Amino acid sequence: MLALAMTLLLLATFAAIPTGIGVCYGVNGGDLPSASDVVQLYKSNGIGLMRIYFPDANALRALNNTGIGVTMGVRNEDLRTLASNPRAAAAWVRDNVIAHHPGVSFRYIAVGNEVAGGDTAAILPAMRNIRNALAHAGLADTIKVSTAVHSGVTQGFPPSQGSFSQSYMGSIARYLQRTGAPLLCNVYPYFSYLGNKAQIDIDYALFTSPGTVVQDGDNAYQNLFDALVDTFYSALEDAGAGNVDVVVSESGWPSAGGDDAATAGNARTYNQNLIDHVGQGTPKRPGRRIETYIFAMFNEDLKTGAETEKHFGLFNPDTSPAYPITF
């Protein structure tokens, strides 16, 4: 009986711990399921982590007491106000975090997503004000504050030569190191391949290369995902923030949209290999599981931009799989 009780306790403990794979929940689609149905879809597929891009009240209510770990975004358009007004930041935390805590298992607040232009100056002040508000509520140690960036903020090849190409990133990196927060990185081998087909083989982008493609000192790279992540690690080291971890806050592959590489077969290959791979770490960080969020849960037909942007979903709006995938 004691052994059975211990087994059940261990199972309950493991069930409450989010897995290393999450999925981004975007809502730019018509006829998407209700938030409560979406949360049930996460649970039925064993997806233990969710990223939302703004304080979605319907999603937050549906997430209550589910144990799903949540990364919640601050809209880019709110950054300047939150950067210049600590009271506005305190109100944001009160209304969007404290009001739902501890029922919602917040992990990270992403202060902006791929911020560009003059708004980049507001990222760090907004991060500070949001974190100060969390600290005042006693939550800064459990809910980490960061920002989500894309690979365009880095430069250098091979990965060991990575550095930040944007001057504002150094101070952000060092702040993350002081506060013990990770850098949230949107990592897309698809876009790297699309922009440089002459030099990047699609097998390298899809995790299907049979052997080493890039030798970087003692580190051998067989896939582009690892190379992009390790470029971020090198950039953090170069900025004096080598203890900052990387969380892959977006990664995915489109299943349609006109480009030759955007097929259901390639999307399934990439995302399934990504799921199977992230537990291994990278050549710079072997054995360290990479917390990773696949983009995205649904095909979103209301998204603007290239047609492929509408076809990154793992599921269709009727909740049927866009292609087979196993979590």
Which residues are known to be catalytic?
114, 250
Beta strands of the chain (E only): which ranges? 21-24, 49-52, 69-74, 105-113, 144-150, 154-155, 163-164, 183-186, 214-216, 219-221, 246-251, 292-294
Contact present, 289 and 279 (Cβ < 8 Å): yes
Tell me the two tokens of residue 217: 């000192």
Concatenating the DSSP letter of every residue in 142-179 gives: TSEEEEEEEGGGEE-SSGGG-EESSTHHHHHHHHHHHH
* Residues facing 150 on adjacent strands: 186
Tell me the two tokens of residue 143: 């809910």
Other CB atoms within a 10 A radius of the CB of residue 44 amount to 9
d(CA 34, CA 140): 31
Concatenating the DSSP letter of every residue in 265-289 gives: HHHHHHHHHHHHHGGGB-SSSBT--
Q: Considering only CA atoms, which of 99, 167, 172, 178 is closest in space to residue 133?
A: 99
